[in-house]
Structure 1
Amino acid sequence: MSFISLTTTTALMLFLLANQSLATTNPSDAQSLQVMYSAMGSPRLLRGWNSSGGDPCGELWKGITCDGAAVVAIQVSGLGINGTMGYLLSNLLSLRTMDLSNNNIHDSIPYQLPPNLTTLNLAGNNISGSLPYSISNMVSLNYLNVSRNSLVQSVGDMFRNLQGLSTLDLSFNNFSSDLPSSFSSLSNLSTLHLQNNELTGSLNVLAALPLTDLNVANNHFSGWIPRELSSIPIFKYDGNSFDNGPAPPPPPYTPPPPGRSHNTHNRSGPHTDSPGSQGRDSNSDHQDNKGVATGHVVGIVLGSILLVLCAMLVLVFCLRRSKGKHGTGHNARPLMTLPVVVDKVAVASTEMQDQRVKSAVTATAELKPPPIETLVGDKVLGSNDSGRRARTPISATSYTVALLQTATNSFSQDYLIGEGSLGRVYRAEFPGDKVLAVKKIDSAAVPLQEEDDFMEAVSNMSRLRHPNIVSLVGYCAEYGQRLLVYEYIDGRTLHEVLHVAEESSKALAWNARVRVALATARALEYLHEVCLPPVVHRNFKSANILLDEDFNPHLSDCGMAALTRNTEREVSPQMIGSFGYSAPEFAMSGVYTVKSDVYSFGVVMLELLTGRKPLDSSRNRSEQSLVRWATPQLHDIDALAKMVDPALNGLYPVKSLSRFADVIALCVQPEPEFRPPMSEVVQALVRLMQRASTVRRRTSEDSGFSYRTPENEPADLSF
């Protein structure tokens, strides 16, 4: 009996151990949640969560749902969570639902999100920045809600592969620009909320969607409301600038737009009439009858033209044979050539056709075509990417030369605020205390282009919208002049702050330097990975990073490379400014890509770390090239400490310094393919700041590195 009891007890223990082993969480999932918990500030309300260990599935962490060892849901809505979302979310490969809504999460959405999500709810937080383009690869996404945040810039043309998306809520943000053309691919979208943003353009891209709930109120939409949207059960559109009345019908003989058929004939299968469909169908039938009648007329005319052409060919053939027999003397009468005959016949036929068509459409009294959809970005027309691109509208203001001359006192030396390889920059003062910056492009540096090419470049630059990029607000193309008008940043360049002697007393503190690196990295990430097609800067250097009075960086000259020749091998070395910033592949072959920008960014990070110039002929020969001198020492802690800018006076966290150097080493690798994309650089710098902030909250005994807080530096390195 005791033997049986012992056996039963042993079996029970083995069963419990087996269950415990089955409940052990996937190590990758556990690590991602640990990092996420630390990034969110280790909130106490997340019962069971731990930043260094634990078993989320086995220990039933609050809000975590598992399927075996895999985390499939994170639902922690309304818990007042602060902080950010962490940087390892992309490792949660089994995660299907992520609900962090109604908290106080700040900073931007991580670029790399769980790739297999079906539900993502980040509503009601304090998230800034823009939507990450990695959303375009989340093909299983069914529900996306980022409402009531502080998201900016354009929505982004990233929805082409999201055919499964049924609910999209972008409301109560600061999104601007037109709706992306890829919205038309959302073939299962039923709910779309865009209210209370700064969106512009028309709603035409939504016409073919199966929407049942559409809210576009309180934006800046314009044009006609497409007739297809009138049948949506819930449709709110007040607070915009739409034209009065319903959209006009399409012009005669124009087929209906793709995706919405108005022809009820020869249609197999059941048919369900939507509200108002009968009126539309009857009108369509009437138009079809007129189209058929006119088609007969056109067929008769074309047939007549063909017969006349055949007759003319026979006549010309006979006359030429006669001409060959009888000669071509001076008294011979000249013959009317075939092209002239054809032209006269065509003109006569066209006039006859026009007269008949006019009489046929008199009853419709000049039907106007529907408004053309405002293009967003460079949209390739036709199937199979034919390569023919439609011109985009220019949102920038057109200035006259006379007005800019007045604003800059005829471009006087007193108004000169900068000079680069492409021209000089002047301060421009307009009525009402409005101040802008005018770049007068030097025709010697940039050969004079056709006006269409210049306007296309201006159009592309005017659409760049990022808080860390200097915005193009206007242009001028008169009398052979090419001028660009930018927002005015009242401050100094990063180059001046780091390298000009008189600015040494205002040296950047360590946390400010990391902040500058992160913000400019986000600007490059936007250019490389959000803009379509990607924008290569080609002239990234500290002199093109403007710091305002709060030391917030603003990257200038974005998109200027479009004003030079398109062939990469023909890019002038002037576009790089100095070979101290240029990647090896450019110096050797003239090839410049987004990875070359990454290299230049690494050089700027070296400037922030060391306070040295990229090229300095005043130093010893072995130290003149910053990259060659610094790279071998980036992984040596002792050597690294000696490389740090003396202006910091040793006031920096050693571990943060080491991690900063690790990012530099990745960016300045000689092989382009081994350099990381800017999204990874951004996440590495965010991770650096988060770790520094976490360590700073611990006691000095647990901190693990020496750190002295200067009087003028905030104790918390997070931002």
Structure 2
Amino acid sequence: MLLVSSREEGLWVGEQTNAAVAKAGMNRKMRGRASAMAVETGAVVLLFLVAALLGVSANTDSDDVNALNVLYTSMNSPPQLTNWVSQNGDPCGQSWLGVNCSGSRVTTIKLSGMGLNGTLGYNMNLLTALVELDTSKNNLGGSDIPYNLPPNLERLNLAGNNFTGSIPYSISQMIALRTLNLGHNDISTINDMFNQLTNLTTFYLQNNKFTGTIDVLADLPLTDLNVANNQFTGWIPDKLKNIRNLQTNGNSFGTGPSPPPPPPPYKSPPYKSPPQRPAGPTTTGNSIPSNDGGKHSKLSGGAVAGIVVCLVVVGAIVAFFVIKRRYWTLRRGGDPEQKEPLSPIASGLKDSFKHMKSIRIISTIGKEELQKNVSMNLKPPTKIDLHKSFNDNDGTSKSFTRKVSLSSIRIHAYTVADLQVATGSFSADNLIGEGSFGRVYKAKFNDHKVLAVKKINFSAFPDHPSDLFIELVANISRLNHPNLAELVGYCSEHGQCLLTYDFYRKGSLSDFLHLIDDQSQTLSWSSRVKIALGSARALEYLHETCLPSVIHNNFKSSNIFLDNELNPHLSDSGFAGLIPNQEYQVSEENIGYRAPEVTMSGQYSLKSDVYSFGVVMLELLTGRKPFDRSRPRSEQSLVRWATPQLHDIDALDQMVDPALQGLYPSKSLSRFADAIALCVQPEPEFRPPMSEVVQLLVRLVQRANMTRMCGADGQSWRRDGESRDYEP
């Protein structure tokens, strides 16, 4: 056991006590520091949370910022819009003039009477939370209303500006829209596209240049409608007369009750057997009693006769179509004796038709006569009068109901003698082209007027050529658009069907692109965009302005003619509704323009025209033909070769028409290619309507013009692959 002195023990105890005190003090100090650190940390976290909350309420959605930046620039950066900027910024947090928000989203834009000019932005569809847009009483426009408007608007007010053209198709997709004010502009066309606007109650169209009828508005749930001071015609639909606030003065509406709608196309009534006299009480032991009050299940003689008559009628119909098929096969150069499979009914009745009386049919086509023995027991018309319908007493024409009065045609009627003199008796020297419906000749008249005369081939009209031609003239003469070839007159006499159009000295777009010689003029990039836009406007008019819509069915570069200012004019419009799809010539040229669904089924639609338009845009971009057998097999079809490369910048540069010599803005080229890709999609439902294509091209032009105004010169375009700072 170790013994320790009392002095040493005291020293040891003291040391232990001091150590304990020092340790306690250190612990208190550490706790104090920890507490201070905790307070500081809490303060930092609190400040961070506050800043974050403030930031959430101040920072605007990036898409909304982008859309408002472009809108500000499109309106030429007006200084009166305080706090607005052309790049970035915070519309909600910085209280941009006229902009209201909910959270981080812009919900209303009210800029009425601010002295604004320019136009609306091209990407306003990004404003998906916007419910009200009011830019009324300004000087915006000078062009069409942009297509990409905010999609969820409830109130849209563009009144008192300078917008022109037509109402964009995108407005018809605004299912929440309740108020639409387009008054006091220069808009001229209204489309049949409002069937989805089930909430629209207020619609103002006054003081514009609208034409046509207002029948397309009849089914809207309107309570306020103002169409005053336009150029509307027709009658005010009865449904609209019940609107609470209706203003229609300053138009050319008819007076009195509106006429009844036109009758539906004629259909033969179902066969009814002749009325039978009531049968008396039967005494035949073969009759079987029933619960029908004395009626019998045994067929009477009249019923049997009715069945026989029905069989005869069916047989006659089958015979008619068999004979008609053989007749048209012969006219197209087919072999009349060629064996073709018949339906079971036709096969069974074929022998019975051999004993029918044989007559001789003579069909005049130009100067040739085609003669063929056809087994029929009906007498055909012996003479065609081009100014009236066929004899009503002739059973072969009773189902034909299309009749157009010559008095309704407002264009000039030429005589055959007039056109023979003007064309040198349709000499080969004056032949300037040949299309699906006939040859085109240059005609020079004594008054120095020069026209193009299209001599229609009778084979284009399968039935009743005279009446179909008159209806064709009436329909085409109603078409009116600056980018359509204007029908000047017609001739319908002595078995001739002729149309006269304005003559365009620059020729067709196809000639410009594909007939290259020493005298050829190269189309600049801006001219190509201009031609694409004008052609798109022509199709937009046919598709979305005409009622009913007009499918062109034959859209191609050889049907686009250029005037001295290189404005495009689309020809052959209005033929499609009268001529069956199978009647179109399927040439090597046409194959390149045919949409996949047309190739598969032969059925055309509005979206088939959109596809063909995309092919023409490819021609403008590449300078190549739609189908070219002289090229390697993988490059013969322009669409198949070009489509995979449209989104590859390097490949796109290699595709451009060498005639441009690299003189084009690369961004403009890229956007042009984007529009092509949309149009030539294989599935028709994914192709855009032509109004959307028009807006894509309008924005392309607007961007180019805007950048030029910023001081760009021609040296900023791409040349030989060299990249420049300025590219629209």
TM-score (norm 1): 0.66
Q: Which ranges of structure 2 fall in alignment gaps of 5 or more residues? A: 1-35, 261-274, 285-301, 303-400
**For 1:482, what is the secondary structure of its paired residue?**
strand
Q: Mapping of 1:141-156 within 5 angstroms?
A: 141-152=177-188, 154-156=189-191
Distance in 1 (alpha carbons) for counterparts of 2:595 and 2:410? 33
Could you tell me which residue of structure 2 aligns to residue 199 of structure 1? 232
Q: Which amino acid aligns with 1:22?
A: S
Q: Distance in 2 between matches of 1:138 and 1:490?
A: 44
Aligned to 1:77: 112
- Tell whether 2:114 aligns with 1:99: no
Report the counterpart of residue 586 of structure 1 in structure 2: 598
Report whether the alignment pairs 1:640 with 2:652.
yes
Separation of aligned partners in 2, 1:571 and 1:89: 45
Contact between 2:622 and 2:657, CA under 8 Å: does it hold in 1?
yes
CA distance in 2, matches of 1:687, 1:693: 10
- Residues 427-483 of structure 1 show CA distances to partners (whole Å, capped at 9, x for unaligned) of 567798776544322113443446555555555544444332234465555554434
Indicate whether 1:184 and 2:218 are aligned.
yes
Amino acid paired to 1:29: D
Question: Which structure would you say has the larger Rg?
Answer: 2
| Residues in 2 aligned to 1:463 and 1:716: alpha-carbon distance in whole angstroms | 45
User: Is the 1:79–1:103 contact (alpha carbons within 8 Å) kept by the matching residues of 2?
Assistant: no
Which whole-Å deviations, capped at 9, do the CAs of 1:123-171 have from their partners, x for residues lacking one? 232222111233333344343332333322x422334454654443323
Please list the CA deviations of residues 625-657 of structure 1 after superposition, one character each: whole Å capped at 9, or x if unmatched.
433443444344344333322322222112222
Aligned to 1:352: none
Could you tell me how far apart the structure 2 residues matched to 1:636 and 1:66 are? 39
State the match for 1:527 in structure 2: 542
> Displacement, 1:92?
2.6
Matched-pair contact (CA < 8 Å) for 2:665–2:727: no
Task: State the Cα deviation string for residues 528-583 of structure 1 (Å, max 9, x = none).
Answer: 34445543322111111111111111222123222321xx5x35344885322223
Inter-partner Cα distance in structure 1 for 2:572 and 2:180: 35
Within 2, Cα distance between the matches of 1:672 and 1:573?
22
Residues 499-508 or 428-437, more deviating? 428-437
From 206, 211, 216, give the equivalent of 2:249: 216
The structural deviation recorded for 1:224 is 1.7
Secondary structure of 1:120's aligned partner:
strand
Cα pair distance change 1:415/1:155, threshold 3 Å:
farther
**Structure-1 residue corresponding to 2:578:** 563
Given that 1:397 and 1:474 are in contact with CA atoms closer than 8 Å, whether structure 2 keeps it comes out as yes
Structure 2 letter corresponding to 1:468: N
- Name the residue aligned to 1:31: 66
1:425 and 2:440 matched:
yes
Greater mean alpha carbon deviation, residues 16-25 or residues 156-165: 156-165
Match of 1:130 among 166, 170, 188: 166
Count the aligned residue pairs: 556
Equivalent position of 1:58 in the other structure: 93
| 1:78–1:21 Cα change, 3 Å | same
- 1:102-501 paired onto structure 2 within 5 Å: 102-152=138-188, 154-162=189-197, 164-177=199-212, 179-195=213-229, 197-205=230-238, 208-217=241-250, 219=251, 221=252, 223-225=254-256, 317=280, 397=411, 399=413, 401-402=415-416, 405=419, 408=422, 412-413=426-427, 416-426=431-441, 437-449=452-464, 453-454=468-469, 457-472=472-487, 475=490, 477-478=492-493, 480-501=495-516
Aligned-partner SS, 2:53: helix
Are residues 667 and 214 of structure 1, via their aligned partners in 2, closer, same or farther at CA, if it must alter by over 3 Å?
A: closer
What CA distance in whole angstroms lies between the structure 2 residues aligned with 1:627 and 1:90? Answer: 30
**Paired residues of 2:215 and 2:237 also in contact (CA < 8 A):** no
Q: Is the aligned partner of 1:630 residue 2:645?
A: no
Structure-1 separation of matches of 2:665 and 2:711: 14
Per the alignment, in what secondary structure is the counterpart of residue 594 of structure 2? coil
CA deviations on 1:300-327 (whole Å, 9 max, x unpaired) are xxxxxxxxxx9x967x859999xxxxxx
Give the aligned partner of residue 536 of structure 1: 551
Compared with structure 1, are the counterparts of its residues 26 and 675 closer, same or farther at alpha carbon in structure 2 (3 Å cutoff)? same
Q: Residues 655 and 705 of structure 1 are in contact (CA less than 8 Å); yes or no, is this contact kept in structure 2? A: no
Pair 1:396–1:48, CA change in 2 (3 A): farther
Cα distance change on mapping 1:205 and 1:427 into 2, 3 Å: farther
Q: 1:20 to 1:590 in 2, by over 3 A?
A: same
Q: Secondary structure at the match of 1:540?
A: coil
Aligned counterparts of 1:542 and 1:135: Cα–Cα separation in 2: 31
C-alpha change, 1:632 and 1:161, in structure 2 (3 Å) is closer
Q: Residue type of the partner of 1:657? A: L
Distance in 1 (alpha carbons) for counterparts of 2:672 and 2:490: 39
Structure 2 CA distance for partners of 1:149 and 1:550, relative to 1, 3 Å:
farther
Question: Matched residues in 2 for 1:70 and 1:677: separation?
Answer: 30
The alpha-carbon distance between structure 1 residues 445 and 159, as it changes in their structure 2 partners (threshold 3 A), is: closer
* CA distance in structure 1 between the partners assigned to 2:644 and 2:630 by the alignment: 21
Structure 1 pair 25–602 and aligned structure 2 pair: CA distance change class (3 A): same
1:608 aligned onto 2:623: no
**Cα distance in 2 for residues equivalent to 1:518 and 1:574:** 27
Q: Is residue 143–residue 166 contact of structure 1 (8 Å, CA) maintained in 2?
A: yes
Amino acid of the residue matched to residue 131 of structure 1?
I
The percentage of aligned residue pairs carrying the same residue is 48
CA distance in 2, matches of 1:571, 1:39: 48
Structure 1 letter corresponding to 2:150? P
Q: Tell me the distance in 1 between the aligned counterparts of 2:424 and 2:679.
A: 43
Looking at structure 1, the residues matched to 52 and 615 of structure 2 have their Cα atoms a distance apart, in angstroms, of: 54
Task: Name the CA distance, whole Å, in 2 between partners of 1:170 and 1:616.
Answer: 49
Kindly provide the amino acid, as one letter, of the partner of residue 600 in structure 1: S
Q: Secondary structure at the match of 1:98?
A: strand
Report the CA distance between 1:609 and its aligned residue. 1.6
**Offset at 1:189?**
3.2
Structure 1 residues 207 and 32: alpha-carbon distance in aligned structure 2, compared to 1, 3 A threshold = closer
Task: Supply the distance in 2 between the matched residues of 1:191 and 1:572 (Cα, whole angstroms).
Answer: 45
Q: C-alpha distance in 2, partners of 1:194/1:479?
A: 48
Does the 8 Å contact 1:65/1:73 carry over to 2? yes
Q: Deviations over 1:63-108 (max 9, x none)?
A: 2122233322222233343333233233333322222222232221
Which residue of 61, 64, 80 corresponds with 1:45?
Answer: 80
Could you tell me whether the CA contact under 8 Å between 1:111 and 1:134 is conserved in 2? yes
- Distance, in Å, in 1 between the alignment partners of 2:599 and 2:87 is 46
8 Å CA contact retained: 2:668, 2:727? no
Q: How far does residue 706 in structure 1 lie from its aligned partner after superposition?
A: 4.8
- For residues 443 and 572 of structure 1, what CA distance do their matches in structure 2 show? 13
Give the alignment's Cα RMSD to 1 decimal.
4.4
Worse overlay, 510-519 or 525-534: 525-534
The alpha-carbon distance between structure 1 residues 162 and 403, as it changes in their structure 2 partners (threshold 3 A), is farther
Distance 1:148 1:585 in 2: 43
Partner Cα separation in structure 1 for residue 277 and residue 644 of structure 2: 82
Change over 3 Å in CA distance of 1:4–1:473 after alignment to 2 = farther
The amino acid that maps onto 1:224 is T
